[in-house]
Amino acid sequence: MKAKHQDAALPELGKARPDKEASRILLIVGIICVAAALRAPFTSVGPLLGMIRDDLGLSNTLAGAITTLPLLAFAVLSPFAPQLALRFGTANVLMLAMLALSMGILIRSGSGTAMLFTGTAMIGLSIAVCNVLLPGLIKGRFPENIGLMTGVYTLSMNICAAAASGISVPLAQHAGFGWRGTLAMWFVVAALATLFWIPQMRNMTRGSSEGKRQSSIQLWRSPLAWQVTLFMGLQSLLYYVLIAWFSVILVERGMTSSHAGWILSLMQLAQLPFTFFVPLWAGKMKNQRSLVLITSILFMIGILGVWLGSSGWMAVWAICIGIAGGFAFGLVMMFFSLRTRSTQEASGLSGMAQSVGYLLAAMGPALFGLLHDVTHSWNVPLALLAVASILLFIVGLGAGSSRFVGDKR
């Protein structure tokens, strides 16, 4: 009878592993879908900004605020996302954020300026929460594969971001969607991500005590946390300034608008492979200072090339900048995990870094344009970007060192 009882138990043991594996696969798919939904609603707006402005009769200032508002939302809410996750659970907060993102996309595509800005604010706040919590979630759920999962997460996010930039105008003008239909289309991606996240509501209710314990580390007083934060801020500043003004600089140098747009697309495409591979490399290294050095050198080559180099080599300078951006983004996403010991610390560091980072990103394009207006030249703005590349290297040496935010000197 005892042997029979043991045999009967074997099928139950056999079910446990497939169930756990299926749960893990669902979580990976859920992370990929959420990541895909985090950039497309934002990057799809820029190419349509002229249509939106003309249709609603907006001033250039208000039209510019459509792209700036989400960045400000990132800066405002990012520090509070870890506390929300600590109180209500990471899976629950992420689910609410995805629901709010889906609703925000629909509201933004409604009629009237008020709905446009209300939906845009909802989108920004929702993305801010997911931006902060996903790196900590990956650290907690995939401790042995942080580099791989971070690479998958960042690649999915950036592929959809690039696709959204590229197809927005064709869909609006040639497919007859208009700007409202084109922006509303990304509801499908957000809704799909929300559906794939539903199983995690059950699977994550058994969260570990580590994820529910308040960290005693004062991140805002940690020199290492500030080095990671400044690395995040400087790479965000470089990226958003170049995205906003690169085409304008090229056109003023005598390039056609279509050619300048192609060069900008080349810059964005060049970063995609490295947003996947850099986290893999970083996760296998004792420290990441060599990757920081490569990042800064590539930024310097690209920026100095745009500033002082030949226009005939502009594609090369754009590729250097794109690769540098892929290195920088992949690195900073890994720093949130590599420089912390727990899921809560990773989320806290992510919130701190993204708050400051996106505040700099929001101010960068306007400051860059102001310097051009004052000096009537791109020399001073581009020189400051070169200085930012040097500062990125300096803070990156600390951020890439083999330490944790709670360590004493």
Q: What is the pLDDT of residues 299-329, one digit of tens each?
A: 999 999 988 877 778 889 999 999 999 999 9
Span 239-260, average pLDDT: 78
Task: Output 105 or 161, whichever has higher pLDDT.
Answer: 105
Q: Distance between CA 252 and CA 373 in Å, rounded?
A: 14
Q: Distance between CA 321 and CA 327 in Å, rounded?
A: 10
Q: Scan for tokens 């690169």, then name that residue.
A: 246
Q: pLDDT at position 17, please?
A: 60
Q: Distance between CA 24 and CA 392 in Å, rounded?
A: 36
Complete DSSP assignment for 215-276: P---GGG-HHHHHHHHHHHHHHHHHHHHHHHHHHHHHHTT--HHHHHHHHHHHHHHHHHHHH
Query: Alpha carbon of 358 to those of 53, 96, 230: distances in Å?
Result: 24, 22, 11
Span 258-262, average pLDDT: 74
Q: Which residues contact 282 (CB under 8 A, 6 or more apart)?
A: 147, 288, 291, 330, 331, 334, 338
Name the residue among 346, 318, 100, 316 with its Cα closest to residue 211.
Answer: 346
Q: pLDDT at position 215, please?
A: 54
Q: pLDDT at position 203, please?
A: 62
CB 179 within 8 A of CB 70: no
What letter would DSSP give residue 80? G
Q: Which residues contact 24 (CB under 8 A, 6 or more apart)?
A: none
- Give per-residue pLDDT as tens, 180-190: 999 999 999 99
Query: Alpha carbon of 83 to those of 316, 348, 356: distances in Å?
Result: 44, 8, 17
Q: pLDDT at position 162, please?
A: 80
Helix (H, G, I), strand (E, B) or coil at 309: coil
Task: Output 25 or 400, whichever has higher pLDDT.
Answer: 400
At residue 109, φ and ψ (nearest 5 deg) are -90, 0
* pTM of the entire predicted model: 0.79
Name the residue among 89, 146, 90 with its Cα closest to residue 340.
Answer: 146
Helix (H, G, I), strand (E, B) or coil at 342: coil
- Is pLDDT of 214 > 80? no
Q: In the structure, what pLDDT confidence band is assigned to residue 9 with cuts at 50, 70 and 90?
A: very low
| CA angle, 211 then 214 then 216, to 5° | 125
Hey, CA dihedral for 119, 80, 366, 169, is it positive or negative?
A: negative
Span 81-107, average pLDDT: 90
- Give per-residue pLDDT as tens, 265-286: 788 889 889 999 999 999 899 8
Q: In the structure, what pLDDT confidence band is assigned to residue 257 with cuts at 50, 70 and 90?
A: low
The token duo for 91 is: 């899976």
